Structure 1
Amino acid sequence: MLLIECPWCGPRDETEYHYGGEAHVAYPEDPNQLSDEEWSKFLFYRANPKGLFAERWVHSTGCRRWFNAVRDTVSYDIKAVYKPGEKTPQIDAGNVAGAKVQSVEGGAK
């Protein structure tokens, strides 16, 4: 079992949460202007890195709020949690081999 820390409620069991996909994916300004190919890329094409990855989670059986987490996709360790609108925290590369946080906002960070 994973212990995930909600920024508002504190640490809780993973069964209280639901995964929401990749964090920091901007919604298109005018989705009606997108071609079918552009819309499908927005909906379905996401990064799938090995290592640190910024994700969205919802505390579905607790406060029901969304938050972001930086999780190592190899070890499943959650390295940081932060509220929506906050910047992705800097993670010390010494904690994870080859650590880089992957996000849509410009690739690896």
Structure 2
Amino acid sequence: MIDKAVTLTSCAQKDVNEFKEYVCNAPTPQDAMNRQQMLNKFTNNVSTLAKQLEDVVRRYATLKKETAAAAAAEQQQGYSNKKKKTNKRGNNGDDTLYDSNVNRQ
């Protein structure tokens, strides 16, 4: 995913260079101004996209580090140290549908 994004970014840089050449070859000053405005919009969009991509990659790296740290901590504690579930209902281990505290009529 990241390799593809880098490839697309370098393609965008090539497009920007070609666009600059297109701006320089404008036949009239009005065309040159219009082309320059298009170039400015295009470069702004590319830079915004690059910043967003950078944020996504940073978040992914952070999430991956947190996941790895949590897995390492869980592995370090081991499975034998986990507490057994306690019976919160107070039904004394009776595996019935109802609590033993409920009066059945």
TM-score scaled by length of structure 1 = 0.22
Q: If each structure's helix is expressed as a fraction of its own residues, which one has the higher value? A: 2
TM-score, normalisation: structure 2: 0.23
